[in-house]
Amino acid sequence: MFLPIRDDNPHTVTPFVNYTMLAICIVVYVWQFSLGAQAEQRAVLTYGFTPAYFFGPGAPAAFAAIPATLTMFTSMFMHGGWMHLGGNMLYLWIFGDNIEASLGHGRYLAFYLLCGVAAALAQGFAAPGSDIPMVGASGAISGVLGAYLVLHPRSNIKVFVFLIIITVINVPAFIVLGFWIVGQLVSSAAVDAGQPGVAFIAHIGGFVAGAVMVFFFKKKSVPMFDVAHSRPFAVEQRPLRVRRGGSVPPTSGRRGPWDN
């Protein structure tokens, strides 16, 4: 098991926009959870991005609370379960602050939203007739990852590795994010974009959009391909402490039809 937990880039500004995106996603999920299963499903159908409604005649009257175009934005702040939300917020927390510092608050907000739109359109064009709603911030966050790969490829990501011992390893960002995008490409080739599941095409679309748009959105003073701020592949080890007695309760998460 491995999991990125933080990076080695110094914090140069307070990332107000990033904090706001995190807060909105959490608040919206709490609202979703409070609705109950049936009402939550209706909310996903109403505010999720559905390609068939976007490219076709529009949503049925029962779900047409807002124009289909606006669902490209509302869908970014909804999630299909607490694990879906937690994974997205972890990646946004790790990588978003440095991109906000490199772009500036206003441009970061525009960049983030445009990456989300690009992700939704990528998934939509891949399955334009699909009536499966897509929810999640992954498309926008994928754009943040693409920008990070361009600006900070040699920065080290502290990756939590759980084997016999608990290990934290500094892994260069180009390796972490390189494996991530290759995984998305492989997974997208193995699944049907029109079927329920993870919206891999949206991830790829957001990532590519972010990697390209960062050239136009970054501050002129921000260098490309920044250097590392710590030693790559440095290892921290902590012995695994086994807790005797009791058991770990199973976890469960509700996932939407298309988790982006």
Report the distance separating Cα 207 and Cα 201, nearest Å. Answer: 10
Here the tokens at position 41 are 């499903």
What integer pLDDT is reported at residue 194 of this predicted model? 58
List domains and CATH numbers for the chain: 2-238 (1.20.1540.10)
Listed in sequence order, the DSSP H helices in 12-104 are: 16-35, 37-47, 51-55, 71-74, 82-103
Amino acid at 148: Y
From 13, 6, 21, select the one nearest 173 (Cα to Cα): 6
Q: What pairs with residue 7 in β-bridges? A: 157
Report the distance separating Cα 112 and Cα 163, nearest Å. Answer: 35
From 69, 92, 39, 72, select the one nearest 31 (Cα to Cα): 39
Number of neighbouring beta carbons within 10 Å of residue 260 = 33
Per-residue pLDDT of the chain (260 residues; tens, 9 = 90+): 678 888 888 888 999 999 999 999 999 999 999 998 889 999 999 999 999 888 887 666 556 778 888 999 999 999 988 989 999 999 999 999 999 999 999 999 999 999 999 999 999 999 888 888 999 999 999 999 999 999 999 999 988 887 667 788 888 899 989 888 888 888 776 666 656 667 889 999 999 999 999 999 999 999 888 877 778 778 875 544 544 444 334 444 445 456 66
49 secondary structure, DSSP code: B
What integer pLDDT is reported at residue 231 of this predicted model? 81
The strand order across the sheet containing 156-162 reads 2-7, 156-162, 166-172, 235-238
CB 214 within 8 A of CB 147: yes
Report the distance separating Cα 182 and Cα 257, nearest Å. Answer: 23
CB 152 within 8 A of CB 100: no
What integer pLDDT is reported at residue 251 of this predicted model? 40
From 15, 114, 105, 104, select the one nearest 73 (Cα to Cα): 114
Report the distance separating Cα 43 and Cα 35, nearest Å. Answer: 9
Give the 3-state secondary structure of 157-173: EEEEEECCCEEEEEEEH
Report the distance separating Cα 28 and Cα 70, nearest Å. Answer: 16
Residues in the chain: 260
